[in-house]
Amino acid sequence: MEIRGPMLLPARREDIELETLDGLTLVGELALPEERDPVATLVTLHPLPTAGGFMDSHILRKAAARLPALADLAVLRFNTRGTSSPRGTSDGAFDGGRAEAFDVAAAMDFVHERGLPRPWLVGWSFGTELALKYGRDHAIEGAVLLSPPLHRATDSEVAAWAGDPRRLVVVVPELDDYLRPDAAAERFASVPGAILIPVEGGKHLWVGEAQTRRVLTEIVAAVHPDALPLSTDWDGQVVAEA
């Protein structure tokens, strides 16, 4: 059976709650490999909630649906403050990336408390801003940035990653609405170690199965390359549609 669209592969899935230092409860989900321990952990940060971003934004939902089974990865998704999805609504209100620092910290506290291995931040659009601004404050192995707009992360916050031993992987769509590869190369020039990956034909929202597979492949290439190539077929049980 070809893996595509909303197919949900087997995993151990758990509805979770994160508690922030400023007293909010955030709703989310943890997906783990069904029969093995995870080899690494993706802490996902969703696109802009005021533009429809949430924990179920399709790339993050498909990462949670596929990667525990295909790449032995744990995938943590959650709604930042004031954000709603079918899972529920997180407490609080959107703060433009400021108080969301507490949300990132709550997710990382959860990872530490559960003993989840080798955490990576995976931010998409607005989520990349949170990863850039606050990722260095936490015990992560690196960050994967999908379609970074660099609207809220300042030049100094980007440059602060220079010399940091943790990896910064920047996946930039050729046809992005906000930051295209040439401009991204200039904006990330202050971080010589950053790995910039331009995606021919890619768009900000990564719509379509071909773009989904490319993005998931780049995430796994950064975090657990031994799992590549990702299978495009599944001959086991399918749980449901994500």
The DSSP secondary-structure symbol of 21 reads T
Phi–psi pair at 60, nearest 5 degrees: -70, -40
pLDDT at 240: 63
Q: Give yes or no for a contact between 28 and 17, defined as CB atoms under 8 angstroms apart.
A: yes
pLDDT, position 60: 98
Does 236 have pLDDT greater than 90? no
d(CA 127, CA 104): 10
Rounded Cα distance, 66 and 1, in Å: 14
Q: What pLDDT sits at residue 241?
A: 59
Report the sign of the C-alpha dihedral through residues 169, 108, 179, 203, in that order.
Answer: positive
Q: Is the pLDDT of residue 105 over 90?
A: yes
- Sequence spans of domains, the chain: 7-241
Residue of higher predicted confidence among 103 and 236:
103
Whole-model pTM: value is 0.97
Q: Which CATH class is domain 7-241?
A: alpha beta
Residue 87 has what DSSP assignment? T
Rounded to whole angstroms, the Cα distance separating 106 from 125 reads 20
Whether 238 shows a pLDDT value over 60: the answer reads yes
pLDDT in tens, 64-98: 999 999 999 999 999 999 999 999 999 999 999 99
Model pLDDT for residues 28-44, shown as the tens digit of each residue: 999 999 999 999 999 99
The confidence band for 5, taking pLDDT boundaries of 50, 70 and 90, is: very high
The Cα-based distances of 82 to 48, 122, 129, 167 in angstroms read 11, 20, 17, 30
**How many C-beta atoms lie closer than 10 Å to residue 201's C-beta?**
11
Q: Say if CB 57 and CB 237 are below 8 A apart.
A: no
Share the mean pLDDT of the chain.
Answer: 97
Residue whose structure tokens are 């657990």:
224
Strands 12-19 and 40-45: unpaired
pLDDT in tens, 162-196: 999 999 999 999 999 999 999 999 999 999 999 99
d(CA 234, CA 174): 30
Average pLDDT over residues 224-233: 98
Q: Tell me the pairing of strands 40-45 and 73-78.
A: parallel
Answer whether residue 242 shows pLDDT above 60.
Answer: no
| Share above pLDDT 90 across residues of the chain, in percent, rounded to a whole number | 97
- Write down the H helix ranges in 4-143: 58-71, 100-114, 126-134
pLDDT band of 237, cuts 50, 70, 90: confident
Instruction: Give mean pLDDT, residues 216-239.
Output: 94
The pLDDT tens digits for 123-170 are 999 999 999 999 999 999 999 999 999 999 999 999 999 999 999 999
Which residues face 14 on adjacent strands?
Answer: 30
Q: Which residue has the tokens 């931010």?
A: 123
**The two structure tokens encoding residue 56:** 């179920």
